[in-house]
Structure 1
Amino acid sequence: MQLIIAILIGVLAGAHISTWGMYKDSIHEGFTWPKYFRSVVVGSTLAVIAMLVTDIDLARPAGMVVFFGLIYGFERLTLELWKGFIREEDQTKYFIPMQFGIGGRPIDDRRIRWSALVGIVALLAVSIWGVATLQENRPNLPPWLILVTVGSLGGWLTAFGGAWKDAPVEGFETLKFFRSPAVSLFWASLLAFFTTDWVYIGIGAAGYSVATIETYKTFFFPNKPRGKFAGKPILHPRMLKLRHYFVPIYVTIWVLIVGTYAIAFQQPHGGLLGSTAAPEGGRPQTLEYSVSVISVPSACGTIWKSPKMCGASG
C-alpha cells in the first residue's frame, strides 16, 4: 500500500509541475507528450526511492502532505540541475539562458559545468547533513528559530540560484529575491504541524514554495511571457487554446492538496509545532477512515433527512 501511495503522489507532483511548465512554454516550444510526462516519470521514480529511505507513514494524510512537498522539491532540484549542467541545448532561443553560466553568458565547456555541478551537489549534501546533525545535537532549539532558518533555507537557495541566472540579464529585483524565502517559511510553518524532521520541513517547504509561486506567475499572469522567453515570438499559437484543456488537472491536484491538509489537521497529528492526542478507541488514522468519518454522516443525513434516524443507523 505504501508503494502505491508513493507512486501516486509522485505522479501527482510530476503532473502538477508538467502542467504549469507546459502552460507557459508550449506557446514558444510546442507540445510533446514525452516532455509533458518527463516530470511525471521523474517524480514517481523519486517517490519510490524516497519511500524506501524515509520513515514517512504514507497511510496517514499528515505523511502524504509532507511526502508531496519532499518529492516536489527533489524533482525540481533534479531537473534543474540536469537542465543547467548536463543537457546540451541551443541557448539562443532563450532570453535568459537556462544553461549554467557566469554573468548571463552560458558556459559551453562541459568540464567546467560538470565540475560546478559536483560542487553544488556536494554543497547541498553537506547542507542536508548539517541540518540533520544539528537536529541530532541540538533538538531543543526554539521552533521559531528552526522555521526561520531551516524552514526558509530552500527558499534562500532558490532565490540565490534564480538571482545568479536571471539578474545579469533582467536586473536584480528585491521583492522577487525575498519572495521564495517568505513563501517557504509559510509552508514550513504548516509542515511543522505534521513532522519533527527538520530536513523534511526544509525540502518540503521549498517544494511547496515552487508550486505556489509558479501557480501565481503562470495563471495569474497568463499573458506575460516567462523571463526566459521575454521578447521571443509565439511560434505555436494553437497552444494558446489547447493548453487550457490541462487546467482542470492542475486545479484538481490543488484541491487534493488542500483537502488532504484539511483532513490531516482534523486528525491527531504531531510535529515540531506540537501534537494532538489520539481519540479513544484506537481507530486507525488513515485517509480511508477519515473520508468515511466525514462522508457517512453526511450521506446518512441526505438519505434519512432526520438526525434521529442517522443516530439509530449508527
Structure 2
Amino acid sequence: MPETPITPSVRQRRVEADLVRTVLASFDNTPDPRLRELTQALVRHVHAFIREVRLTEGEWQQAIDFLTATGHITTDRRQEFVLLSDVLGASMQTINVNNEAYADATEATVFGPFFVEKSPEIPRGGDLAGGAPGEPCWVEGTVTDTDGNPVSGARLEVWEADADGFYDVQYDDDRTAGRAHLFTDEDGTFAFWGLTPVPYPIPHDGPVGALLAKTGRSPMRASHLHFLATAPGLRTLVTHIFVEGDQLLGSDAVFGVKESLVKRFEPQPPGIPAPDGRDLDGRTWSRARFDIVLAPEAVTATGADHG
C-alpha cells in the first residue's frame, strides 16, 4: 500500500515541534554566529517543509537518491548541483539578494555552470570564437561607473555556446572555443568578435533533466552571451545579454532573463563592411551594443536603491 500523509493530531504536532526545538538548540553553541544563524534557519525551513507536505519516508528516500545521483554525475566539467540550483530559481534569487539595485548599474544574472578560469586573452577587436561554428557577431560597448566615468582596464570575461548549442567544455577534446577575456581601453570602450547567440538546452540527460521532464518544464535557455566584469573599487558583475525577439525570453529554464539585459542583435546582410575591416567571406553577421555600468564595490542595503 502506498504511504498516505495524514493530518496530525494535537499530540503529534507537539512531538514534531519538540523535535524542532531540540535540533535548533543543538546548534546554540556554534562559535561562528553566522554559521549558527544559517544552520538554525535551515533546520527551521527544512522541518517546516517536511511538516507542511507530510513528507513520507518513501519520498524522503527518493530525495536522497536524487541528490546522490546529482553528486555522482558531477565532475570538474559538469556541475549538476549548479544546474539544480539554477532550475529551482535559487541561483537567481541569490544573485538578486547580493546585487541590490544601485542607480543605473547593470543588472546581474546567473553565473551558469560553464565558466572556466584562465581563458585566452584577446586584443580589442579580437575573436573569441576559436573556430567554433556559428554566425560572426561584432559586440562593442563601454564600461563606466555609476557617475558616468569611463573605467579603463576593466577585465571582461566573455563566454558562450556555439551554433550547435554546446560550450567547449561539453566536448571531449579539451578544445578552448567560445570564450576569452579582454580589457577596456583608456576611454572605457571595448569591442570583440563572437558568435550570434542561439538557444540551447541545459544538460538534461541527468537527474535535473529528469526532474524537468517529470514536472513538464523545458530545459531550453534563451539565446545569450555571458559577461563577467571586474575592476578595482567596483562591484564585480556577472551577467548576460539576451537576444531581442527570442521566443524563449519568457520561459528561460534558469529564470535568468531581465528586461534591461535584452539587446538588439542587428542582422547584417552579406556585403556590409565589418567595423574593423574584417573579411567575412560574403557571410551574414550581426552586431550588438552592450554598455556596462558598474556599481561601487561597497553598496549598503540601506543605500542601495538610488534609482
Query: Shorter-chain TM-score category?
Result: under 0.3
TM-score by length of 1: 0.22
Structure with the bigger RCO (C-alpha within 8 Å, sep 6+) is: 1
Task: Indicate the structure (1 or 2) with the bigger Cα radius of gyration.
Answer: 2
Higher-strand-fraction structure: 2
Q: Between Structure 1 and Structure 2, which shows a larger proportion of helix residues?
A: 1
